[in-house]
Structure 1
Amino acid sequence: MDEGLGSGLSGRPGEGLYGRLKTYEGKATGSVGVGRDLVNEPMIRHWCEAMGDTNPAYRGPDAIAPPTMLQAWTMGGLSAQTDRADRSGAFDELFRLLDGAGFTSVVATDCEQEYVRELRPGDRITYDAVIETVSDRKTTKLGTGHFVTTRMDIHANGELAGTHRFRMLKYTPVERNAGRDKGARRPRPVVNRDNAGFWDGVAGHKLLIQQCDGCGELRFPWLPGCNACGGAEWHTVEASGTGTVFSYVVMHHPPFPAFGPGPYAVGLIELAEGVRMISNVVGVPYDKVRIGMPVRLEFLRVDDELDLPVFRGGDD
């Protein structure tokens, strides 16, 4: 075991492992990168089609790029790219240090974006990334380790356009046994003023979709305003419960007892009403799930406090 692991348990900067980890804050993860392509209309169109986003602001001669595309302009595709700001140098050193201290597993925990200015076709994208923070030692349900946050600043024609933060946990997996696994509790959904009505519906075994009072557009997930016309008034429509698998992934790792034994399939379900939502596909083996497979809504009783909408495939 690395000598810093024991002395770093105190969690105070300047002592043992934690002191060494803190020295990486502010260090660049690579050289300044240049976007492979200018911001362009075809990529905007493909993005909007994939997301089902029909906002008129993303079309026509005065089109802007959807803000959530911010990081898309920094990606290099499948081929190698020598001018990208890939994680290297300080980032690799930091991870080797954590590996040597026994924190050999890694999981992405969250990301956040901040938008400063609109991106328009023709903008040239440049970007750079730094290690922003390294946390003291934290204990989570997955294990004990350190959260590492990187920040990418994205510029358009030399002007700051937005910031992308990506956080991951570098950890030592907790030792699990069958008794503890059976008692794992499913994480609670985040309920706020914008989606409380949806979860009220789920509690009553209803899958509610928003419909704009202005233009009639259906939308899911729940939003405070219409993404088609911008209208703020809406009502709800109860979904029929039928749909098809539009896309899916099979979850293998990391194992998380609260979600049951893996592998299991998570699908992007296209409801008969035309909107899409993400949920588990149940009732068929994970390796039998297919795009286009019909599914039907049911509600899974997770525990005494929580029901969740899932989709059953197969003939039963």
Structure 2
Amino acid sequence: MGARLTEYDGLGVRLKAYEGRPAAVTGAGKDPVNAPMIRHWCEAMGDTSPAYRGPDAIAPPTMLQAWTMGGLLGHEGRTGAYDELLGLLDESGCTSVVATDCEQEYLRPLRPGDEVTFDAVIESVSDRKTTKLGTGYFVTTRMDVRVDGEPAGTHRFRILKYAPARRKPPKRRPRPVVNRDNAGFWEGVAGHRLLIQRCTGCGTLRHPWLPGCNACGCLDWDTVEASGAGTVYSHVVMHHPPFPAFEPPYAVGLIELAEGVRMVSNVVGVPYDKVRIGLPVRVEFRTYEDEEGALVLTVFRVVEGEG
């Protein structure tokens, strides 16, 4: 492989020289494992497991990375190797980045009061790859997390650093991915009905649509038609990247319906910079025509005179 890279990809040879180099040494979590962060995480995820509450609480295993984050100021134990690697990629034209996946292994539960330490290493740099986004390299880092010197978990994080592909912008609005699990929802939207799944085992409402109930595991369900009323639970304003079917900036909201479930949709009816948490909204069905036919999508319009 070394000979092939030398012949065809001199940059790849330089990048692979970073494999095995440390990205962080004797890093330490800025905060010990603590109940407030666990509570915020569980509220955001809608996780009501009793294992994460009370005097014998443990932290959700998927919070593993949260205890190692350095915030805007970073960590003192960080080395320059990772920044050098990304700098080489930037200089080569691979200026865009997207996180592709992560893998976590949990070796022991973390409990409030635990002081987390970690080391990180540049585990691998792939050969040059061509994807729909563009051509670039997958970079994987591995972080080993410890408490009192005892291994607690491993976190692998993989990104793609790439040079964006030049492509003709699509002329039509992107269509949602419809599968057997969510087809009923989109059939309802096409008929100007906002349908919510309801578990027939325990009555829990859920969105997005799923094949089974997260609360009780039952696979049987029916639907209820939402009133369409809701409030803005959270929102972001999209400025970039530009896309021919959209005109940035525009507001995308996490809408809490009156029935209690939440869904993501555009917020319309007021300027993007006037959208606020708590604004009352109501669903609106919009039809878009293109060469593939009519496409019906939902947006949420701010209710005038309220909020």
| TM tier relative to shorter chain | 0.7 to 0.9
Match of 1:201 in 2: 185
Give 3-state SS (helix, strand or coil) of 1:13's partner.
helix
Bigger strand share: 2
Match of 1:108 in 2: 98
Q: What are the superposed Cα offsets for residues 193-242 of structure 1, whole Å, 9 maximum, x if unpaired?
A: xxx333332133144434344543333334565544x4434523333222
Q: Give the letter aligned to residue 238 of structure 2.
A: M
Q: CA deviation at 1:315?
A: 4.3
Choose from 227, 230, 234 the match for 1:243: 230
Distance in 2 (alpha carbons) for counterparts of 1:143 and 1:129: 28
Match of 2:141 in 1: 150
Change (3 A) 1:183 1:213: same
Distance in 2 (alpha carbons) for counterparts of 1:118 and 1:127: 16
Distance in 1 (alpha carbons) for counterparts of 2:125 and 2:156: 13
Distance in 1 (alpha carbons) for counterparts of 2:156 and 2:194: 33
Match of 2:208 in 1: 221
Change (3 A) 1:81 1:98: closer
Change (3 A) 1:224 1:71: farther
Q: How many residues align?
A: 293
Q: Give the letter aligned to residue 112 of structure 1.
A: C
Matched, 1:267 2:253: yes
Choose from 5, 9, 13 the match for 1:13: 5
Q: What are the superposed Cα offsets for residues 101-121 of structure 1, whole Å, 9 maximum, x if unpaired?
A: 222x22323332424243332
Change (3 A) 1:80 1:92: closer
Give 3-state SS (helix, strand or coil) of 1:221's partner.
coil
Matched, 1:295 2:281: yes
Matched, 1:24 2:18: yes
Match of 2:171 in 1: 183
Change (3 A) 1:111 1:290: same
What is the TM-score with the length of structure 2 in the denominator?
0.79
Change (3 A) 1:81 1:167: closer
Give 3-state SS (helix, strand or coil) of 1:36's partner.
coil
Q: CA deviation at 1:91?
A: 0.9
Q: Give the letter aligned to residue 93 of structure 1.
A: E
Distance in 2 (alpha carbons) for counterparts of 1:168 and 1:295: 37
Distance in 2 (alpha carbons) for counterparts of 1:300 and 1:166: 39
Mapping for residues 24-63 of structure 1, pairs under 5 Å: 24-63=18-57
What is the TM-score with the length of structure 1 in the denominator?
0.77
Change (3 A) 1:210 1:57: farther
Q: CA deviation at 1:249?
A: 0.9
Distance in 2 (alpha carbons) for counterparts of 1:275 and 1:77: 31
Change (3 A) 1:119 1:145: same
Distance in 2 (alpha carbons) for counterparts of 1:112 and 1:190: 26
Identity of aligned residues (%): 64
Give 3-state SS (helix, strand or coil) of 1:189's partner.
coil
Distance in 2 (alpha carbons) for counterparts of 1:167 and 1:271: 35
Give 3-state SS (helix, strand or coil) of 2:141's partner.
strand
Distance in 2 (alpha carbons) for counterparts of 1:98 and 1:136: 13
Match of 2:58 in 1: 64
Match of 2:241 in 1: 254
Q: What are the superposed Cα offsets for residues 138-163 of structure 1, whole Å, 9 maximum, x if unpaired?
A: 34454433232323233344444443
Asked whether the equivalents of residues 33 and 128 of structure 1 are also in contact (C-alpha less than 8 Å), the reply is: yes
Give 3-state SS (helix, strand or coil) of 2:156's partner.
strand
Choose from 249, 261, 268 the match for 1:282: 268
Distance in 1 (alpha carbons) for counterparts of 2:187 and 2:176: 13
Match of 1:74 in 2: 68
Matched, 1:313 2:297: no
Distance in 2 (alpha carbons) for counterparts of 1:151 and 1:188: 34
Larger mean Cα displacement after TM superposition, 217-226 or 127-136: 217-226
Q: Give the letter aligned to residue 152 of structure 1.
A: M
Asked whether the equivalents of residues 113 and 162 of structure 1 are also in contact (C-alpha less than 8 Å), the reply is: no
Distance in 2 (alpha carbons) for counterparts of 1:121 and 1:190: 42
What is the CA RMSD across the aligned residues, in angstroms?
Answer: 3.2
